[in-house]
């Protein structure tokens, strides 16, 4: 029987064998020393079982089981994935560009869940597992979440109505689309939302301060942001699933990942470290290019304030999950973003190639993918698509590999940009269309942390 997985903080590098179990890491969200939990070592994924999986729920159970350990019996985990993942996960072939080479190119559509975002995959699993643990223990939990776009709606829907759990979502007032906002602000019940007069990084900083604030120690706080390891582990599944569908025959697989707070990429790195044979990751950011510059130079400098781009969920000037990436490659980045020990940059560059895609290139990619190939993208997926184009042109990925770019949100969540680029109105899925006419309710906050702390203490203290 495999050993129970252990999770240690990124602020405790080199302490393998210490740490906590999955349930403790999941419910805590952030480690007490303000670091982020990582499995150490990363558990091995059974590739034979993964190949044999008949559908996505079976693949999810195979990947999640070694990470979850004793937190959930295997039969209960299988039932959870079977009940949760009821939507398709298409790996769509991309026709060659006119006059271009016939590549084995694909778009992984992660936009078919209840909020039309890739974050449904992880938020849904978190909601069910955390809800079960809280009920079993007779406890209550207050989940604090900062969102730059899709996290808030996915988390709000995943936890809406879950007994024993309240959710508080902070979002930057000017940087989410109307449809993204309405998916968060029309639920009510145990979900409270606040528009913050600042950036995503301000929202994230307020959440992190609350976790470390001794004045809030009496409130059982947790996170559903990607600072919570429970967000990353389910995101490893779709990389493993895609490899099993495309690469199990022996071809290498390349993934191009639109990257903002870097949780999605870290899910892919966990899959790779668990044994899934990924050839390389293309790390595609928008104009917030702090990570491409870091990969190129070895020097890290956050962007403050972050730059506003049409791929708004990626408007992050200092990604929390960069601390995890650095840790996986032998380095140490503390909670403030200070690089205390450099990672193995040669290994980082071997496994990943990073590129920044600005708004002009993003818009041009949406237009060109539609007009030349009949592929409809939204801004985040377009950043990944353009990043893969750039990697191919630069000779940074194997053109004979299975080439996969991730589409992380439904085009109908960004109707104005898609319409302007393609001349077409993307048809909203039923779950998205349903929120259009519902009444909204949300509060307003400045970036003044004491005001947020006082509200939390008054509401939950």
Question: How far does CA 401 lie from the centroid of its chain?
Answer: 24
- φ/ψ region of 381 (left if φ > 0, alpha if ψ in -120 to 50, else beta) reads alpha
pLDDT of residue 434: 79
pLDDT of residue 14: 66
pLDDT of residue 331: 97
- Over residues 333-374, the pLDDT tens digits come to 998 899 999 999 999 999 999 999 999 999 999 999 999 999
pLDDT of residue 16: 56
Q: What's the rounded Cα separation, in Å, for the pair 279 and 291? A: 20
Could you give the percent of the chain with pLDDT greater than 90? 82
Rounded to an integer, the average pLDDT of 403-428 is 95
Walk me through the domains of the chain, giving residue ranges and CATH numbers: 90-116+230-428 (3.40.50.1100)
- Over residues 286-319, the pLDDT tens digits come to 999 999 999 999 999 999 989 999 999 899 999 9
Q: What's the rounded Cα separation, in Å, for the pair 68 and 234? A: 10
Centre a 10 Å sphere on the Cβ of residue 75 and count the other Cβ atoms it contains.
9
pLDDT of residue 227: 86
Lowest mean pLDDT segment, chosen from 11-15, 144-148, 229-233, 428-432: 11-15
Which strands form 105-109's sheet, in the order they lie side by side? 91-93, 105-109, 402-407, 253-258, 278-285, 352-356
The pLDDT of residue 122 is above 90: yes
Tokens of 266: 């870290």
- Over residues 87-103, the pLDDT tens digits come to 999 999 999 999 888 99
Rounded to an integer, the average pLDDT of 220-235 is 91
Coil/strand/helix, residue 102:
coil
Q: What's the rounded Cα separation, in Å, for the pair 227 and 31? A: 10
The answer to whether 335 and 352 have CB atoms below 8 angstroms apart is: no
Average pLDDT, the chain: 93
pLDDT tier for residue 250 given thresholds of 50, 70 and 90: confident
pLDDT of residue 435: 79
């Amino acid at each position: 029987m495999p050993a129970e997985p252990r999770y240690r903080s990124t602020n405790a590098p080199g302490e393998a064998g210490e740490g906590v179990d999955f349930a403790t890491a999941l419910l805590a969200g952030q480690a007490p020393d303000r670091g982020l939990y990582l499995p150490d070592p990363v558990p091995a994924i059974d590739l034979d079982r993964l190949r044999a999986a008949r559908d996505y729920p079976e693949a999810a159970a195979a990947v999640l089981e070694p990470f979850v350990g004793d937190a959930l019996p295997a039969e209960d985990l299988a039932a959870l994935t079977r009940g949760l993942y009821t939507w398709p996960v298409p790996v769509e072939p991309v026709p060659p560009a006119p006059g271009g080479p016939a590549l084995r190119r694909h778009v992984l559509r992660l936009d078919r869940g209840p909020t039309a975002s890739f974050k449904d995959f992880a938020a849904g699993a978190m909601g069910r597992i955390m809800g079960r643990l809280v009920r079993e223990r007779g406890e209550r939990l207050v989940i604090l979440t900062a969102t730059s776009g899709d996290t808030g709606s996915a988390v709000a829907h995943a936890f809406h109505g879950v007994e024993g759990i309240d959710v508080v979502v902070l979002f930057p007032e000017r940087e989410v689309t109307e449809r993204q906002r309405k998916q968060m602000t029309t639920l009510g019940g145990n979900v409270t939302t606040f528009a913050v007069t600042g950036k995503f990084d301000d929202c994230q900083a307020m959440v992190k301060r609350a976790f470390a604030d001794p004045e809030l120690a009496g409130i059982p706080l947790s996170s559903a942001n990607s600072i919570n390891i429970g967000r990353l582990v389910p995101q490893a599944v779709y990389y493993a699933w895609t490899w099993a569908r495309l690469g199990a025959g022996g071809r290498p697989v390349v993934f191009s990942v639109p990257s903002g707070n870097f949780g999605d990429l870290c899910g892919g790195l966990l899959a790779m470290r668990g044994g899934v044979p990924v050839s390389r990751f293309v790390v595609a950011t928008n104009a917030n290019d702090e990570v491409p510059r870091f990969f190129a130079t070895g020097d890290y400098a956050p962007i403050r304030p972050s730059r506003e781009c049409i791929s708004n969920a990626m408007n992050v000037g200092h990604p929390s999950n960069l601390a995890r990436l650095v840790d996986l490659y032998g380095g140490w980045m503390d909670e403030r973003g200070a690089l205390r020990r450099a990672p193995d940059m040669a290994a980082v560059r071997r496994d990943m190639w990073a590129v920044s895609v600005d708004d002009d290139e993003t818009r041009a990619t949406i237009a060109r993918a539609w007009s030349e190939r009949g592929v409809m993208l939204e801004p985040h997926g377009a950043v990944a698509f353009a990043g893969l184009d750039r990697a191919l042109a630069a000779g940074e990925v194997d053109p004979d590999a299975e080439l996969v770019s991730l589409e992380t949100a439904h085009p109908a969540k960004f109707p104005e940009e898609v319409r302007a680029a393609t001349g077409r109105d993307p048809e909203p899925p039923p779950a998205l269309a349903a929120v259009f006419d519902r009444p909204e309710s949300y509060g307003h906050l400045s970036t003044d942390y004491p005001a947020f702390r006082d509200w939390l203490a008054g509401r939950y203290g």
